[in-house]
Amino acid sequence: MDRETRLAWLLDHYRRPRYRGVLPDADARVPGGNPGCGDIITMSLKDGEVRWEGIGCTLSQAAASILAERVNTEKMTFEEILAMPPEAMIELLGRDIAESRPGCALLALGTLKGAVKTVEMNRKLKAAGHTDEQIAELRRA
């Protein structure tokens, strides 16, 4: 994909975001953000489905849309999400565009990995005998 086509693709995802929204009764709903520049992404996970909400710059929002589309259409497993290296996200978005703004480019991926880890930890806590209420209390602490 040449730079012009990639730019058009990114701007299209920014203007017509895919998989944006909230999943009812999500297994995890995890926020992430760059307070310095105001980018915010919240990722919701439920049974392998991903939705996202957010505000911020063109790149951070386009990246969230592109990542959510990939995870949902390719039915990526938790292992595959956690194994996805930041470099792969930079390459996906276009190194010439994304490399200078790694915070924006990688916010969605980092937040999604955080959501996956939250779900996995919650499962471990449940297996150890904690109730949903106790887990919620632990997370508030």
Partner 1 sequence: MTQTVAAVSEIASRGYAQPDVLVSTQWVEDNRNNPNVRLLESNEDVLLYETGHIPGAVKIDWVTDLNDPLLRDYVSRDRFERLLRSKGINQDTTIVLYGDKNNWWATYAFWVFKLFRVENLRVLDGGRLRWAEEGRPLVTNLPSYPEGNIRVRERDDSRIRAFRSQVELHVQRNGKLVDVRSPEEYRGERLHMPEYPNEGALRGGHIPGAKSIPWGRAITAETHTFKPASELRTLYESENGLQKSDDVVAYCRIGERSSHTWFVLTYLLGFKNVKNYDGSWTEWGNLVRASIEKP
State the residues that interact with partner 1 by CB under 8 A: 7, 10-11, 14, 30-37, 57-59, 62, 97, 100-101, 103-104, 110
How far apart are CB 23 and partner 1 at their closest, in Å? 18
In the bound state with partner 1, the residue whose beta carbon lies nearer, of 12 and 69, is 12
CA atoms within 13 A on the CB side of 48: 8
**59 in Cβ contact with 98 (< 8 Å):** yes
In the bound state with partner 1, the residue whose beta carbon lies nearer, of 51 and 101, is 101
In the bound state with partner 1, the residue whose beta carbon lies nearer, of 58 and 72, is 58
How far apart are CB 46 and partner 1 at their closest, in Å? 19
**61 in Cβ contact with 14 (< 8 Å):** yes
CA angle 34, 6, 61 (to 5 degrees): 25
How far apart are CB 86 and partner 1 at their closest, in Å? 13
d(C-alpha 135, C-alpha 117), whole Å: 14
CB atoms within 10 A of CB 121: 14
How far apart are CB 65 and partner 1 at their closest, in Å? 13
